[in-house]
Amino acid sequence: MGAVDNVLSSLFMVGVSKGFFLKHGMDVELKLFKSGQELAKALASGDIQFGTSAVNNFQTELQAGIRNVAFMSIMGDNASLTADTPLAIVAAPGSGITKPADLKGKTIGLSLGGTAELYLRQVLKKAGLRAEDVKMVQVPPANSVTAIKTKQVDALSLWEPWQTQVLREVPGSVEVVRGGGYLGYIIFGLTKEETFRQRPDLVKKVVIGFAETAAWVRQNPDEAGAVVATWISGLDPKIAGEAMRNVPFDIRITNFTKEVWDSSNQMLIEQGKLNAPVPMEGHFDTTVLREVVEEHPEWFSDLKSAELLDLKLP
């Protein structure tokens, strides 16, 4: 399996460390990547069998002709249309930035081309600004504290745990905006189409392992944060535990997921990153997920009600 090295990938790390995957018959080798783009290449090359992609990234990958199948979520609130609390913009001490409108003319560090950029663009739009009103520069998330301390940037657009780490380790740093309902942020679990079709037994073990892991993480955020901190170099367990409280882990794919998908399609078309809407049909299969939800309701009983989508590969 492959995942990006942040708390949004907690289910992978916890599933391995706490033995949930092994319990269900999987001996998992977990590889961590610095970005979703690196992870996508590893999945395409066959270096990993299971990976992830955020909703907006998955849509652009599908447009490019990549044939992966989404069969579950691994991060997100699939009973909400605008759950984006894992995302935030933080400003450097003395930058003069306290609200989104103050970003005009500033240098913003982020991982270009991904969800952090989409989020920043939506925040700017709502504040009456254009993307051209700021200077976006590439900053690896793990370098966020250094970038702020050395004044390489005026602010950062980030996902957890990096913004929480900046706020705790850089005195005077400012949380400009967290979440805010700008977009629905969902990360899907993916595998190649041939793997999904040829190994339904393995796919079901994966879904079961993630379902039990997610239920445990929702009930034990501090302990889960301590586990994640052993995987991410330089991350304080207390910061990890705090960050976990901003990240929803709901593996379902629901009617809300469909609306988030459609909204993301529209945003990406407006930004020129998609030529036309990408349908979920033909790229999602929820057959195994529905089986697991029906067979193990105890792992989903604490979640808000939502209608599961019925999607099946042709």
- What string of pLDDT tens digits covers the 314 residues of the chain? 999 999 999 999 999 999 999 999 999 999 999 888 889 899 999 999 999 999 999 999 999 998 899 999 999 999 999 899 999 999 999 999 999 999 999 999 999 988 999 999 999 999 999 999 999 999 998 899 999 999 999 999 999 999 999 999 999 999 999 999 999 999 999 999 999 999 999 999 999 999 999 999 999 999 999 999 999 988 999 999 999 999 999 999 999 999 999 999 999 999 899 999 999 999 999 999 999 999 999 999 999 999 999 999 99
Domain count, the chain: 2
In a domain, 304, yes or no: no
DSSP conformation class of 273: S
In a domain, 310, yes or no: no
CA quadruple 23, 29, 33, 36: dihedral sign: negative
Q: Is residue 125 exposed (0-12), middle (13-18) or buried (19+ Cβ within 10 Å)?
A: middle
Domain span holding position 14: 2-81+184-299
Domain check: are 139 and 264 in the same one? no
pLDDT for the residue numbered 35: 83
pLDDT for the residue numbered 33: 92
Helix or strand (DSSP H, E) at 135? strand 135-138
User: What Å distances lie between residue 307 and 82, 235, 273, 303, CA to CA?
Assistant: 17, 37, 30, 12
pLDDT for the residue numbered 172: 96
pLDDT for the residue numbered 67: 87
User: What Å distances lie between residue 237 and 21, 178, 225, CA to CA?
Assistant: 23, 21, 6
Contact 283, 61 (CB under 8 A): no
Residue with tokens 């969902």: 186
Domain check: are 173 and 193 in the same one? no
Specify the long-range contacts of residues 141-146, CB closer than 8 Å, at least 24 apart.
141/6, 141/34, 141/111, 142/5, 142/34, 142/233, 142/234, 144/109, 145/169, 145/170
In a domain, 249, yes or no: yes
Domain check: are 102 and 194 in the same one? no
Q: DSSP alpha helices (H): ranges in the chain?
A: 10-17, 20-23, 36-45, 55-63, 115-126, 144-149, 162-169, 193-198, 200-219, 221-229, 237-244, 255-270, 287-295
pLDDT for the residue numbered 309: 97
pTM score over 0.75? yes
Cβ-based neighbour number of residue 106 at 10 Å:
17
Domain check: are 131 and 257 in the same one? no
Q: Are strands 31-33 and 2-4 parallel, antiparallel or unpaired?
A: parallel
- 194-226 as b/e, with b when 16 or more CB fall inside 10 Å? ebbeeeeebbbbbbbbbbbbbbbbbebbebbbb
Domain check: are 219 and 174 in the same one? no
pLDDT for the residue numbered 153: 98
Domain check: are 74 and 93 in the same one? no
pLDDT for the residue numbered 246: 94
In a domain, 309, yes or no: no
Domain check: are 190 and 291 in the same one? yes
Beta bridge partners of 137: 109
Domain check: are 76 and 214 in the same one? yes
pLDDT for the residue numbered 239: 94
pLDDT for the residue numbered 46: 93
